[in-house]
Structure 1
Amino acid sequence: MTLPTPQPPATDADTRVRLLDAGGAVFAEHGFRAATVRDICSRAGVNGAAVHYHFRDKAGLYRAVIEHAFHAALDRYPPDLGLAAGASAEERLHAFVRSFLLRLLSDGVPAWLGKIMAREMIEPTDALEHIIAHSARPLFERLTAIVRELAGPDASVEHVMRASQSVVGQCLFYRHCREMIRRGWPESEPTVEGLDELARHITRFSLAGIRATRVGGRA
């Protein structure tokens, strides 16, 4: 009779990662308020006290889940995608758009992150301020710096803000409306293979809009 090989005990780091992965799936499925620590620990296969040990409470785990996913996505697809120093504003805009689409649509990023963020837009939690301060705002400021350079020195703060929001909106459309596109217009469904062309399209469209509304050349 062959006895099963004993599995090594989980380390603190292993337990933490399992909680983050399980937490992401459960929060996306049920939302922060309906998700329970018991369900998360059961899915992770860890003791019920592990959440308190690693994250203090459910809210702490929720913030950590989002931070972990954001940082992992940014590590894999940084906003500049490794552009050389001295790249033009046009090149930096394209890199920003392409990296954003990769983080939104690539198989390399957990699908549950998009679901959690969609829930935050509908039923915001206390974590939203943390998300804005530590993840969304730094990225958006990087984008507005690029747009400001493209829009020219006389561009107003409002113009730069709206142009930047338009860039983000074009990218988010393909994430939040993906199922509608798949069912209604399957021929234009975004795919990983088509991301490069989609990034070029959004970049060209955005550049044309920014240039058309520069001070002195308003459309």
Structure 2
Amino acid sequence: MTQDGTRERLLRAAGEIISRKGFRAATVREICARAKANVASVKYHFGNKRSLYEEVLQAAFEESIRDHPPDPGPDHPPEERLRAFIRSFIFRFHGEGRGSWFGRLMTREMFEPTEALDELVRRAIRPMSDLLQEMVREVGGPDLDDRAVLFCGLSVAAQCQHFFRSREVVRRIHPSLRFDRQGLEELADHILAFSLSAVANYRRADRAGGRP
């Protein structure tokens, strides 16, 4: 970090603004105003707005993983590992602070992709996807083939994403649901239980010839 903290302030301001407005709508002038920095400072520290954005994505991802580790390690039971992944996913999307920017930035990339998406997939999304597939395979055991592992993993991720993308609708339809820490822990427990049951039924249907 520079002596006066300008670089860090630019990263924080860019994360706050871009996660709320999107990359294209956010302007360098607005980011610099929030950071209390000269407009030329973006060029000096990052080269351009796109490079600033890429560093914001990387910083947000790294901080989100530090705050909410997705894997306690291979020496833990498969179900415990899967819950840790689900919990990390949920808290990284619903949490507060810089780590929570990643979920919002990633969601924006899905709907308004930029040139940063390929690098985001390579450095962050694909490794998380591979880890989830590994966990599902451990839970499912040898009876679960590669295609089933793929779809079950995608279904776990889709459940986690749904409660973030539809959060405001869910709140209005089911106001008793909470998105504070306790509510998110409850949600992680539910998604785990639902997913474990689904994988178990998938195995039984496969053995019985009920799945193509």
TM-score, normalised with respect to structure 1: 0.86
| TM-fit CA distance, 1:94 | 1.0
Distance of 1:202 and 1:208 partners within structure 2: 10
Q: What amino acid maps onto 1:178 in structure 2?
A: R
- Structure 2 distance, partners of 1:116, 1:100, is 14
Matched, 1:107 2:96: yes
2:26 maps to 1:54: no
Partner of 1:207: 196
The separation in 1 between residues aligned to 2:117 and 2:143, in whole angstroms, is: 33
AA at the equivalent of 2:60: A
* Aligned 1:33-72 pairs, distance under 5 A: 33-72=24-63
| Contiguous gaps of at least 5 residues in structure 2 | none
For the Cα contact (< 8 Å) 1:181–1:189, is it kept in 2? no
The answer to whether the 8 Å contact 1:27/1:35 transfers is yes
Q: Does the CA contact (< 8 Å) of 2:12 and 2:98 recur in 1?
A: no
SS of residue matched to 2:182 = coil
Provide the residue aligned with 1:138 in structure 2. 127
Moved more, 29-38 or 193-202: 29-38
Cα deviation, residue 96, structure 1: 1.0
Q: Is the 8 A contact 2:73 2:81 kept in 1?
A: no
In 2, the alpha carbon distance for the partners of 1:158 and 1:85 equals 23
CA distance in 1, matches of 2:173, 2:6: 42
SS of the aligned residue for 2:176 comes to helix
- Distance, in Å, in 2 between the alignment partners of 1:119 and 1:100 is 16
1:5 aligned residue: none
- Distance change in 2, residues 1:13/1:88 (3 Å): farther
Question: Unaligned 5+ residue runs, structure 1?
Answer: 1-9
Match for residue 22 of structure 2?
Answer: 31
Whole-angstrom distance in 1 between the partners of 2:145 and 2:73: 29
Letter aligned with residue 135 of structure 1: A
AA aligned to 1:130 is: E
| Maintained 8 Å contact 2:15/2:98 | no
Deviates more, 1:35-44 or 1:109-118: 109-118
Deviation at 1:210, TM superposition (A): 0.7
CA distance in 2, matches of 1:127, 1:199: 30
Alpha-carbon distance change, 95 to 113 in structure 1, aligned in 2, over 3 angstroms: closer
8 Å contact from structure 1 (residues 174, 190) kept in 2: no
Moved beyond 6 Å, runs of 4+: none
Structure 1 residues 99 and 110, CA, compared in 2 at 3 Å: closer, same or farther? closer
Letter in 2 for 1:66: L
Pair member with larger Rg: 1
* Closer, same or farther: CA 64–126 of 1 in aligned 2, 3 Å: same
In the alignment, which of 161, 166, 177 is matched to residue 188 of structure 1?
177
**Count of paired positions:** 208
Q: Distance in 2 between matches of 1:30 and 1:105?
A: 17
RMSD of equivalent CA atoms: 2.0
